[in-house]
Structure 1
């Protein structure tokens, strides 16, 4: 452990984020995750910042954001605060898509509920 800085092993990050080791390596390879530090033995050691960033990536991935857009978001974040308006636009666009998915699922759920009610009425 670095002085005052928490570090995490790959297995701890897998447990914390739900990403597989292969996914973590892939995200690092494509630049979605910045290069991960290593200890003196060459083993990857993740920082709290890495884990926090992976939490954001988990959220975006779980809500269906394509990797290309996640890469664009990462690029904007790394470019600095002057890109905040662009980040807002990107996240607002994604939020609209998520809202559309929710509306679609709600409609499908209503159909399922109607079918359940119908089957109950014939029993």
Structure 2
């Protein structure tokens, strides 16, 4: 497939795909007779994978390291496993942190919900508020 179709199917722009190739996240694409990039369907699986790595917070340099190891072939599988395992620990820590944040938000929302349910009753018991009289001005002498 050409880059336009890959862009459409992957949800990325052609510019992003060229950038990924320039960085080394995408392998150098073969070219047709007119010099246009040609991709096979397997690149879609790879793009989805690196999209997930990006969404999980993996730094670009780490993704580039993984891509280089992948390009080097099966002899790098242990290194790739180590890299992904380390990143998984980071993702788990981030998930735990986000879970704590979610719990705090849930508690705060519940507090507001309870307050809103109590407000009509609360407002019926409020005393009438008096307006403060304006300050007295000293009498002019003169």
Which category describes the TM-score, using the shorter chain as reference length?
A: 0.7 to 0.9
After the TM superposition, list the runs of 4 or more consecutive aligned residues in structure 1 that deviate by more than 6 angstroms. none
Match of 1:69 in 2: 62
In the aligned structure 2, how far is the partner of 1:83 from the partner of 1:51? Answer: 22
Which residue of structure 1 aligns with residue 114 of structure 2?
Answer: 121
The Cα of 1:42 is off from its aligned counterpart by 2.0
TM-score, normalised by the number of residues in structure 1? 0.86
TM-score (norm 2): 0.75
Counterparts of 1:78 and 1:43, CA distance in 2:
22
Q: Distance in 2 between matches of 1:18 and 1:37?
A: 21
Q: Point out where structure 2 has 5 or more consecutive residues left out of the alignment.
A: 117-142
Please give the alpha-carbon distance, in whole angstroms, between the structure 1 residues aligned to 2:72 and 2:79.
11
In structure 1, the residue matched to 2:51 is 58
What is the CA RMSD across the aligned residues, in angstroms? 1.3
**Equivalent residue, structure 2, for 1:97:** 90
Mapped partners of 2:14, 2:5: distance in 1:
10
Separation (CA, whole Å) in 1 of partners of 2:44 and 2:114: 51
Output one character per residue of 1:45-83: Cα deviation in whole Å (capped at 9) or x when no partner: 211222222122111111111111111111111222121
